[in-house]
């Protein structure tokens, strides 16, 4: 019988890498928590129409990448390709916007896009996101960006940059769109690109083909056609970023893959990741709530890629968190020693010490190998003679240094040795 493999384009995380995965996710969530974002847990599938209307009918995400199926009740259901639309749905459904604003929410979980798999691009991926709803204050845009930047720095990452732009709003965007379409109409573009220019001309600015890039080099840019209000908003966001000490570069050609963005847009780009270099992105989406049937409230947020942040840590050789499975590992020599070391599990773990021991009667050599592999700092080695003397050997694995501690004091001695 052939064994099963995971579906194409889906990552598995197991020890030791899974410990880094959790550390990356928790660092991102921790940064949001420190800025007052409350946690929201949402379903991984929603009504298909929510994404069609929220993300945009003409986006690649909606036209090509959604996992959509009909459930047993004949409803069209889609595995969530992103988080913002679902958060807005929950905010509207539960009236979360009736309390104090801004409403600040954070989430983490799996998202699904049927993309062509490649390094850093998966069909199931993990994001940590935040959304701040109901206050159009440029300081809030800067806060959202700073929360992401702080988390990346806390992980130890340095090889990334923050790219920033403004996409204008409903008052200045239509005129710019017409201007860009008029420019594109004069170019000798192929039929498919011409069709794209008709639906979403901004996408043509993001075309990766060198011949198209050359043609759109002099295309008008939104940044140069912002209304006074949009420009003032953008300048204030940049000012607050300076106040927060967050470095950025402007990229007026940035094109986000989702249609709901207005004004501030940003991406965190890592140079060591090849083609899939965005470790996170986000922006403001002032019309989305109303479009989904809610109040006309503004919003700003981000989605950070946990998988790609993990890859970035590997590329830079930085290790967020602790990959060891345990702090202390028990090495019993004989049955009596084993029952003593088993009995120590409860008091050690209750004292917050991560404790594991050699199961399966491995003998000294096998048990010491287990201790090394566990990543523990200390082994507790216990033999017949130690039991008689009421002691246990506390061995530091990195140095081999060993000292006797009284069995009755073992929890205190272990905690002292670990510096806790
Ligand atoms: P997004 O730019 O589509 O934004 O995705 C955010 C991040 O998710 C990307 O920068 C990337 O790190 C990660 N990501 C996206 N697709 C994949 C994939 N196929 N494989 C691995 N990682 C991936 C959003 O999703 C918006 N909802 C963000 C947002 C929140 N904007 C405002 N609020």
Q: Which of 199, 175, 200, 204 is nearest to 189 (CA)?
A: 204
- The answer to whether residue 134 sits within a structural domain is yes
**Residues 149 and 279 occupy one common structural domain:** yes
Tell me if 213 is assigned to some domain. Answer: no
Structure tokens at 148: 């992401």
Q: Which two tokens stand for residue 54?
A: 């929220």
Q: Is 229 helix (H, G, I), strand (E, B) or coil?
A: helix
Over residues 384-403, the mean pLDDT reads 97
For residue 67, give both structure tokens. Answer: 């996992």
Looking at residue 264, the DSSP 8-state letter turns out to be E
φ/ψ of residue 140, rounded to 5: -75, -35
**Which of 305, 306, 312 should be mutated for ligand 1, with most atoms under 8 A from CB?**
305
For residue 385, with 0-12 CB atoms within 10 Å meaning exposed, 13-18 middle and 19 or more buried, which class applies?
A: exposed
Domain that holds residue 231: 17-172+226-316
Task: Say if residue 387 is in the same domain as residue 306.
Answer: no
pLDDT at 104 over 90: yes
Average pLDDT of the residues of the chain: 95
User: Which pLDDT score is estimated for 300?
Assistant: 98
Q: What is the CATH number of the domain that holds 107?
A: 3.30.930.10
Cα(279) to centroid of ligand 1, in Å?
8
Are residues 251 and 349 both part of a single domain? no
What is the model's pLDDT at position 345?
97
Judge if 243 and 117 occupy the same domain: yes
Instruction: Give the pLDDT confidence score for residue 208 in this predicted structure.
Output: 84
**Any idea what the CATH number is for the domain that residue 399 is in?**
3.40.50.800
Q: Answer whether residue 12 is part of any domain.
A: no
Distance CA 213, CA 331 (A): 64
Domain presence at residue 204: no
Question: What token pair was written down for 103?
Answer: 């409403």
pLDDT exceeds 90 at position 361: no
Q: Is 301 in the pocket of ligand 1 (CB under 6 A)?
A: yes
Q: Are residues 49 and 115 in the same domain?
A: yes
The domain tally of the chain equals 2
Q: pLDDT digit string (tens) for 270-283?
A: 999 998 999 999 99
User: Which of 282, 286, 297, 300 maximizes ligand 1 atoms within 8 Å of its Cβ, making it the mutation to test the pocket?
Assistant: 282
- Best residue among 164, 278, 306, 313 to mutate for probing ligand 1's pocket (most ligand atoms within 8 Å of CB) is 278
Digit-coded pLDDT (tens) for 27-65? 999 999 999 999 999 999 999 999 999 998 888 899 999
Amino acid 323: pLDDT: 84
Pair 395, 304 in one domain: no
Token pair of 192 as six digits: 């498919």
**Is the Cβ atom of 263 under 6 angstroms away from ligand 1?**
no
Q: Encoding tokens for residue 34?
A: 């420190």
- Mean pLDDT of the 302-328 span: 95
Nearest to 168 by CA among 234, 105, 117, 112: 234
Mean pLDDT across 90-110: 97
Residues 392 and 245 in one domain: no
Specify the pLDDT at position 276.
92
- What average pLDDT does this structure show over 286-301? 97
Joined together, the tokens standing for residue 188 give 């000798």
Is the model's pLDDT at 337 over the cut of 90?
yes
Is 302 strand, coil or helix?
strand
Distance between Cα 254 and ligand 1 center (Å): 14
> Which ligand 1 atom minimizes the distance to the CA of 284?
32
Separation between Cα atoms, residue 88 and residue 17, nearest integer Å: 33
Beta bridge partners of 393: 381, 404
Residue 59's pLDDT is 87
Q: DSSP alpha helices (H): ranges in 35-137? A: 48-55, 60-64, 84-93
pLDDT category at 18 given cuts 50, 70, 90 is very high
Q: Are residues 106 and 137 in the same domain?
A: yes
| % of the chain surpassing 90 pLDDT | 90
User: What number is the average pLDDT over the span 350-365?
Assistant: 94
Of the pLDDT bands very low, low, confident and very high (cuts 50, 70, 90), residue 207 is confident
Say yes or no: CB of residue 308 within 6 Å of ligand 1.
yes
Alpha helices in 118-227 (DSSP H): 138-155, 173-185, 191-199, 202-205, 210-215
* pLDDT at residue 206 tops 90: no
- H or E element that contains 414: helix 410-417
pLDDT digits (tens, 9 = 90+) for 228-250: 999 999 999 999 999 999 999 99
Residue 404 structure tokens: 């006797």
Mean per-residue pLDDT, 99-106: 97
Please report which confidence band the pLDDT of residue 322 belongs to, taking 50, 70 and 90 as the band edges: confident
Asked if residue 389 and residue 252 are part of one domain, the reply reads no
Which among 259, 288, 316 is the end of a domain? 316
What distance in Å separates the CA atoms of residue 226 and residue 229, rounded to the nearest whole number? 8
What pLDDT, in 10s, does the model give residues 149-168?
999 999 999 999 999 999 99
Q: 382 with 357: CB under 8 angstroms?
A: no
- The number of the ligand 1 atom at minimal distance from the alpha carbon of 113 is 19
Same-domain check for residues 283 and 332:
no
Burial class (CB in 10 A: 0-12, 13-18, 19+), 157: buried
Please give the annotated binding residues, written as ranges.
82-84, 113, 127, 131, 256, 260-261
Most informative mutation of 281, 285, 313 for ligand 1 (most atoms within 8 A of CB): 281
Last residue of a domain, one of 262, 293, 316: 316
What is the spatial distance between Cα 65 and Cα 213, in angstroms, rounded to a whole number? 25
Binding site membership for L-histidine: which residues?
82-84, 113, 127, 131, 256, 260-261
pLDDT at 196 over 90: no
Say which residue the tokens 């470095």 belong to: 247
DSSP 3-state of 311 = helix
Domain final position from 283, 316, 349: 316
Average pLDDT over residues 297-312: 98
Cα of 227 vs its chain's centroid, Å:
33
Question: Cβ distance 166 to 176 under 8 Å?
Answer: no
**Does one domain contain both 291 and 342?**
no
Q: Is residue 6 part of a domain?
A: no
What single DSSP character describes residue 224? G
In this predicted structure, the answer to whether residue 362 has a pLDDT above a threshold of 90 is no
Residues 34 and 105 in one domain: yes
In a domain, 382, yes or no: yes
The answer to whether residue 217 sits within a structural domain is: no
Task: State CA 232 to chain mean position distance.
Answer: 30
**What's the 280 CA to ligand 1 centre distance in angstroms?**
6
For atom 30 of ligand 1, which residue has the closest CA?
302
Question: Is 216 inside a domain boundary?
Answer: no
């Amino acid at each position: 019988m052939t064994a099963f493999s995971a579906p194409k384009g889906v990552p598995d995380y197991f020890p030791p890498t899974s410990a880094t995965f959790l550390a990356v996710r928790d660092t991102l969530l921790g940064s949001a928590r420190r800025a007052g974002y409350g946690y929201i847990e949402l379903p991984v599938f929603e009504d298909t129409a929510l994404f069609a209307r929220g993300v945009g009918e003409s986006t690649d995400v909606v036209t090509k990448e959604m996992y959509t199926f009909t459930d047993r009740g004949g409803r069209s259901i889609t595995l969530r390709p992103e988080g913002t639309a679902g958060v807005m749905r929950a905010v509207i459904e539960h009236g979360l916007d009736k309390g104090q604003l801004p409403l600040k929410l954070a989430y983490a979980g799996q998202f699904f896009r049927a993309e062509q798999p490649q390094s850093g691009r998966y069909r199931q991926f993990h994001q940590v996101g935040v959304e701040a709803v109901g206050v159009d204050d440029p300081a809030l845009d800067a806060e959202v960006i700073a929360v992401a930047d702080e988390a990346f720095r806390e992980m130890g990452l340095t090889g990334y940059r923050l790219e920033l732009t403004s996409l204008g709003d409903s008052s200045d965007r239509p005129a710019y769109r017409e201007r860009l379409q008029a420019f594109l109409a004069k170019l000798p573009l192929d039929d498919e690109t011409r069709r794209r220019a008709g639906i979403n001309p901004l996408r043509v600015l993001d075309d990766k083909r060198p011949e198209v890039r050359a043609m759109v080099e002099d295309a008008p840019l939104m940044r140069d056609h912002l209304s006074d209000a949009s420009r003032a908003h953008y300048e204030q966001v940049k000012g607050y970023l300076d106040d927060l000490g967050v470095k950025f570069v402007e990229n007026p050609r940035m094109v986000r893959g989702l249609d709901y963005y207005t004004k501030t847009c940003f991406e965190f780009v890592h140079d060591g990741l090849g083609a899939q270099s965005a470790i996170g992105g986000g922006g403001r989406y002032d019309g989305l709530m109303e479009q989904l049937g809610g109040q006309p409230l503004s919003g700003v947020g981000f989605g950070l890629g946990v998988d790609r942040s993990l890859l970035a840590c590997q590329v830079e050789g930085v290790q967020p968190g602790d990959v060891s499975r345990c702090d202390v590992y028990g090495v019993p020599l004989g049955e009596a020693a084993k029952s003593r070391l088993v009995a120590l599990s409860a008091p050690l773990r209750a004292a917050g010490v991560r404790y594991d021991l050699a199961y399966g009667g491995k003998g000294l050599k096998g048990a010491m190998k287990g201790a090394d592999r566990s990543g523990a700092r200390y082994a507790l080695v216990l033999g017949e003679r130690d039991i008689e003397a009421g002691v246990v050997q506390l061995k530091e694995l990195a140095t081999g240094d060993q000292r006797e501690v009284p069995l009755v004091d073992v929890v205190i001695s272990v905690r002292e040795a670990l510096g806790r």
